[in-house]
Amino acid sequence: MSETQFTPRVFSGIQPSGGLHLGNYLGAIKRFVDMQDQGDFQTVYCMVDLHAITAKLLDPATLRHNTRELAAGFIAAGVNPEKSILINQSQVPEHAQLAWIFNCVARMGWMGRMTQWKDKAGKNAEAASLGLFAYPALMAADILIYHATHVPVGEDQKQHLELTRDIAAKFNHDYGVDFFPLTEPVIEGAATRVMSLRDGSKKMSKSDPSDASRINMTDDADTIAKKIRKAKTDPDALPSEVEGLKDRPEARNLVNIYAGLNEQTVAQVLADVGGQQFGTFKPALAELAVAKLAPISTRMSELMADQAEIDRTLAKGAQQAREITAPILKKTYEIVGMVS
């Protein structure tokens, strides 16, 4: 275990691969805002544009648009650039520089066991990019270049965070130092895994071909309400106890979403809505979702109207970030034996 006391610092990132959805909001962004406002941590939030080109190279104009739109999404949802450091990954070069060191610390076997690698590379791993394979080492560098102690993410990122701890531990062990913290994943709340509205066994995802499967952060009020009305459910009434959601993935998902949006536990929601039919519950959920999400979408469009302002915010964020990352990279190079 680490003896060093590290500054309580939060880091998290999202890929600007286009199409923020309710899963990103409840699983990640909303919790970024909560941790920012809690005041116990310094918070750093990032558009990971270097990660966004690992699966496939994107059209440059699209990548630029997506990065600015994600920045607008963060700010519209409550990430405050006066309170948090908001950055675009490629503008803080120490991320990629530390990632190289970690490419030499991490083992091929560790990377090959990552389920995201296996899912994304599919059967044709020979054709996948080297960047996709090395993705988790860059992610570890994103976190550890800040000596971040806590990382809020959705459930699907758990394995990558375990790998981040393994990389930190191996670096510390191999060089006989206590330099990198063993970061804590923060996977909490009712909605760490929001499921598709069309299939309760599949994660809500931007890559699902069915637009009805997800609520996009840019959907307007009517679209949000329509998607919730059409969401797949079962014929039974809602239970009053959490155990009653067992084996009812679609019902559980809608209740989790309600709880996440309304900042309640699932048990609290069920105490109120137990016994209701979906014909009653769905309109209430739609109303709640519209009340919480429509203002974010409106604010996002307003922010996107002034892209120069977004760029200024990111430039300022990069400057603040480098005050933290430059000394940590310098010290890492010293430990490794790079002549400076």
The answer to whether residue 313 forms part of the interface with ligand AMP (CB under 6 A) is no
In the bound state with ligand TRP, the residue whose beta carbon lies nearer, of 14 and 238, is 14
The answer to whether residue 157 forms part of the interface with ligand AMP (CB under 6 A) is yes
**SS3 letters for 226-279?**
HHHHHCCCCCCCCCCCHHHHCCCHHHHHHHHHHHHHHCCCHHHHHHHHCCCCHH
Active site residue 120: yes
Quote the strand ranges of the chain, DSSP E: 9-14, 42-47, 85-88, 150-152, 184-186
Q: Pseudo-torsion of CA 124, 98, 67, 260, nearest 10°?
A: 80
The answer to whether residue 172 forms part of the interface with ligand AMP (CB under 6 A) is no
Decide which of ligand TRP, ligand AMP, none touches 151; Cβ closer than 5 to 8 Å per partner kind.
Answer: ligand TRP
Decide which of ligand TRP, ligand AMP, none touches 143; Cβ closer than 5 to 8 Å per partner kind.
Answer: ligand TRP
Decide which of ligand AMP, ligand TRP, none touches 24; Cβ closer than 5 to 8 Å per partner kind.
Answer: ligand AMP
Residue 327 Cα to chain centre, angstroms: 26
Q: Which of 120, 170, 202, 316 is catalytic?
A: 120
Q: Is 193:258 a contact under the CB 8 Å cutoff?
A: no
Edge-first strand listing for the sheet containing 150-152: 85-88, 42-47, 9-14, 150-152, 184-186
Could you tell me the smallest distance in angstroms from the CB atom of residue 47 to ligand AMP? 10
Could you tell me the smallest distance in angstroms from the CB atom of residue 143 to ligand TRP? 5
Residue 59: HSE in the Cβ half-sphere, 13 Å Cα cutoff: 5
Q: How many CB atoms lie within 10 A of CB 25?
A: 24
Active site residue 83: no
Decide which of ligand AMP, ligand TRP, none touches 193; Cβ closer than 5 to 8 Å per partner kind.
Answer: ligand AMP
Active site residue 282: no
Closest CA to 334 of 175, 145, 146: 175
The answer to whether residue 150 forms part of the interface with ligand AMP (CB under 6 A) is no
Please give the single-letter amino acid code of residue 130: L
Which segment (152-160, 233-241, 279-287, 292-300) binds ligand AMP by CB under 6 A?
152-160
Could you tell me the smallest distance in angstroms from the CB atom of residue 74 to ligand TRP? 13
Residue ranges that bind ligand AMP, judged by CB under 6 A: 14-15, 23-24, 27-28, 153-154, 156-157, 192-194, 203-204
Residues catalogued as catalytic = 120, 203, 206
